Chains A and B, each alone.
Chain A
Amino acid sequence: MNFSEVQVIGEDETFRGSKSRYVWLFGGIFIFLCFLAMHYSTSYLFLFFSNSGGIPYTLISYQMVLSIGPFMTMIASFDIVSSETETGSVRYILSKVHRSSFILGKFLFLLLVFTSISSGIALISLIYQYSGGNTFHFESIILFWISSSLYLGCFISIFLLISILSTNNKISFTMSVVFLGILIFFILQGNESYLKYITPFFYGIKNMEFMKGFPVEAGYLTVFESLFSMFLYILVFLSMSLIAIKRRDF
């Protein structure tokens, strides 16, 4: 692996890649949906929270990220490698750069896009807090930013692995939908089931209670645990992706 190669791939994807504009477009739609949720937050709160002092904009944004984020990530990243495999351009790229640099470059590009999206949503949330006359909760905003970036990073690594394993976009999309369905099935098994630990949803939901007010004492450990678990989740799937790309014949 060569870091300059990773940088080249990442820059190429960000500024010159044909897929780049679609990814940014989906990101924009995602931010707009979060903006809509915050804009109509009074109705939203009426539906979900009976007794609340001040509108928890960070919590609303986080719930949007938890629910819509996986689907948006899937749409943006299911064909990140499989489209190159389908057209055959992956052969030319892999003749110039190392396989692991290629994958890490793609991953960092998507992580950069979704971290930017998280930043955008956090900024809108901050603006709404300011205009609503609420007190600023910078800790909650930072927690939101880190947590949602890692949460979306988990899904990026999952769909990247599926994209590497697929020979064309159709298979990649089908398998991404199937895997997302499996994860939803696992989380729906309930809180007593051990299957919840396999899903990123569990680690994301764990942080939800801290979006209204930053944790004190024992809460810090819970936050650290869930953030570290999401980081490990990303590492595991990224390692699997690197193993997969090294074993594949293109």
Chain B
Amino acid sequence: MLGLNPAFFKSGTMKTGNLLFIGIVIGLVLFGFFEFLGLDPTYGGIIGAVIVGTLIGKKIGKGSEKYAFFSIFTYNLIGWILVFLFTSDGKLALQYGSIALSTLIGFALVMVFFYSIIGSFGAFVASNLSRNKQDEGL
């Protein structure tokens, strides 16, 4: 059984998977917090992406950009789906009809894509600024 092997839990794959999950949870918490504060979604999205991206970059190290991108894209997607389904503004938007809704969803997806790119850049900077990494450099 692979799960019973203690070495598996110490391996990089397990660590990365856990970190992705933690990144998504932290991102969702930040997303909810910024929604609660009523902060502009653009600022909230960027700040959340930078925090999650930096965290993932520092923990995973080299090659963390794709994980940061995936994590930020996922939590934003989950967050926006929850906003659309469970808030009065979201329900109002859903009632507007197909064209307005598809425009809104398209705009939200473009913004989420940009937040993910910003977050992955944050991860790139954080991972390369971390000191004494054995797998970095030449």
A contacts, CB < 8 Å to B: 85, 88, 91, 165-167, 175, 178-179, 181-182, 185, 189, 193-195, 243-244, 247-250
Contacts and interface: CB of A to CB of B under 8 A. Distances in A.
A91 B138 contact: yes
Chain A, interface SS category: helix
A248 B136 CA distance: 8
Interface string B97-138: 000000000000000001001101100110011111100111
Given A88-B138, A185-B114, A175 B121 contact: yes
A249 B129 contact: no
Interface in B31-62: 42-43, 46
Contact of B121 (A182, A193, A247): A182
Contact of B125 (A85, A165, A195): A165
Q: Which 7 A-B pairs have the closest CB atoms?
A: A165-B128, A249-B137, A247-B131, A250-B137, A185-B114, A178-B121, A182-B118
Nearest to B117: A178
Interface of B: 42-43, 46, 114, 117-118, 120-121, 124-125, 128-133, 136-138
A104 B30 CA distance: 39
B138 A85 contact: yes
Contacts of A244: 128-129
Contacts of A85: 137-138
Given A178-B117, A189-B42, A249-B133, A167 B138 contact: yes
